[in-house]
């Protein structure tokens, strides 16, 4: 297998690299979550105007029409260039691709362009206080009302709900149907009287995610994605895009973390320590195996257009290596590793969520066992 870039892919990489070098927005402002978000929104607008959002989306939907390999090259260059992520990450990685895969023509015309420009931010309202891994047990209910639906219930851990205009929202529309069949997928408008968003502060001190309380929140019929009662399949597509999206940028992110770790080890004069050398070698080998696995996943996705269950492997490994490396960095850093406000302690604390967000490691392992390896089902 030839894993090097073709001539046109190398030319594409150079074009991205030059554009990013000439247009890098500088560092994200620190210490003020709202200012940081607006900075990233302005940056996304700039990228969009230059045609660099939705790189692999079809041109008819406002994308660049590039291949998935080119999209991966683009993501790598963003990570290598330490470029801030766009603001509408959930819209770009999940919302837009789901509307393209399952939405009506009207939904594509209405929702895709503002996702790309960052004008309308999206969030993902799946998890509930008693439904995380067992997502099909959600209790939020939607009942039919004139020309639409009224939704009552609660969501939790909703990233960017405080910034979002729309939410990918799962609610039960048929309480008597088997649990996977009574769910419908809505595009919920957040700015309305029936929706209350309350921030949740994380261990890092940031409030990236929220609780959402809904009391007869309204959604018109035209904002249902897929069939009424057919939301489970749309939800699975969303999760596959989420895990593939995380996996896509994971390898470069991990390499950068490893480079930072090696620099720290040198700074502390520990580069000859055999135990430290061995752990670094293990990270190096693991990340390279992950890179090759990611290429396999990409090849599979190019055949079907929608990522499959094998994307769960990259997400699991990303969490595993990121947590192990940030843990080692906090040990090597000494007092700075356990002092609030340092880079080492921030990274360590933030990485704790890696084995939960986007699907827990145990659940991803079940998916790989059952759906990739074909082992017998747990239950
Ligand atoms: C930083 C962050 C951001 C998030 N953002 C969002 C968001 O934007 N939108 C959203 O909807 N959700 C979001 N989540 C929620 C996330 O998807 C859930 O936390 C996750 O799916 C796990 O659900 P839970 O917390 O209810 O844990 P549970 O499902 O209750 O799991 C508890 C424990 O039991 C284990 N477990 C559960 N089922 C099994 C099983 N079948 N086999 C083996 N072990 C099992 C789990 O692995 C875990 O260790 C976010 C979470 C984090 C940490």
pLDDT tens per residue across span 53-91: 999 999 999 999 998 888 888 988 988 888 998 999 999
In the residue annotation, 242 being an active-site residue is answered as yes
Q: Ligand 1: distance of its center to the CA of 54 in Å? A: 28
Q: Ligand 1 pocket check: which of 123, 360, 367, 371 to mutate, most ligand atoms within 8 Å of Cβ? A: 360
pLDDT band at 144 (very low <50, low <70, confident <90, very high): very high
- Domains, the chain, in order of start with CATH, read 7-117 (1.10.540.10), 122-229 (2.40.110.10), 233-372 (1.20.140.10)
Shortest-distance atom of ligand 1 to CA 125: 11
Its pTM stands at 0.93
DSSP reduced 3-state for 198: strand
Q: Residue with the nearest Cα to atom 37 of ligand 1?
A: 133
Query: 120, 242, 259, 271: which one is catalytic?
Result: 242
Share of the chain above pLDDT 70, in %: 98
Residue 174 to residue 308: CA distance in whole angstroms: 28
* Residue in 10, 20, 39, 3 with CA at minimum distance from that of residue 79: 20
Q: Do the Cβ atoms of 77 and 58 come closer than 8 Å?
A: no
- The answer, yes or no, to whether residue 1 has pLDDT greater than 60, is no
Mean pLDDT calculated for residue range 255-273: 96
Q: Ligand 1 pocket check: which of 126, 127, 366, 367 to mutate, most ligand atoms within 8 Å of Cβ? A: 127
- Token pair for residue 211? 């609780």
Q: Residue with the nearest Cα to atom 12 of ligand 1?
A: 127
Q: Write down the pLDDT at residue 230.
A: 97
Residue 268, φ and ψ in degrees, nearest 5: -90, 0
Burial of 361 (0-12, 13-18, 19+ CB in 10 A): middle
């Amino acid at each position: 297998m030839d894993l090097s870039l073709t001539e046109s892919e190398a030319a594409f990489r150079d074009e991205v690299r030059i554009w990013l070098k000439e247009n890098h927005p500088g560092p994200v402002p620190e210490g003020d979550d709202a200012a940081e978000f607006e900075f990233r929104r302005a940056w996304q607008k700039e990228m969009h105007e230059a045609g660099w959002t939705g790189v692999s989306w079809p041109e008819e939907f406002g994308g660049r029409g590039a291949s998935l390999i080119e999209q991966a090259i683009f993501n790598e260059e963003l990570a290598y260039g330490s470029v801030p992520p766009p603001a509408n990450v959930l819209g770009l990685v999940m919302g837009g691709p789901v509307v393209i895969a399952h939405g009506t023509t009207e939904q594509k015309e209405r929702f895709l362009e503002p996702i790309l420009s960052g004008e309308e931010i999206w969030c993902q309202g799946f998890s509930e206080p008693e439904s995380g891994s067992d997502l099909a047990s959600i209790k939020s209910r939607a009942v039919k009302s004139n020309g639409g639906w009224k939704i009552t219930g609660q969501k939790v851990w909703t990233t960017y709900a405080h910034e979002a205009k729309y939410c990918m929202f799962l609610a039960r529309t048929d309480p008597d149907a088997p649990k996977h069949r009574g769910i419908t997928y809505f595009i919920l408008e957040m700015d309305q009287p029936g929706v209350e968003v309350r921030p949740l502060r994380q261990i890092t001190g940031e409030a990236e995610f929220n609780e959402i309380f809904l009391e007869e929140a309204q959604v018109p019929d035209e904002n249902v994605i897929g069939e009424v009662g057919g939301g489970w399949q749309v939800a699975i597509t969303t999760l596959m895009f989420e895990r593939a999206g995380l996996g896509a940028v994971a390898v470069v992110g991990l390499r950068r973390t490893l480079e930072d770790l090696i620099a720290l080890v040198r700074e502390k004069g520990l580069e000859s320590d055999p135990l430290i050398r061995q752990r670094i070698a293990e990270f190096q080998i693991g990340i390279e195996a992950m890179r090759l696995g990611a290429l396999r996943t990409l090849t599979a996705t190019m055949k079907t257009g929608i990522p499959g269950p094998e994307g769960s492997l990259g997400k699991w490994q990303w969490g595993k290596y990121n947590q192990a490396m940030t843990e080692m960095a906090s040990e090597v850093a000494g007092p700075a590793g356990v002092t609030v406000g340092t880079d080492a302690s921030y990274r360590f604390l933030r990485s704790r969520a890696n084995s939960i967000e986007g699907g827990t490691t145990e659940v991803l392992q079940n998916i790989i066992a059952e759906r990739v390896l074909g082992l017998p089902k747990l239950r």
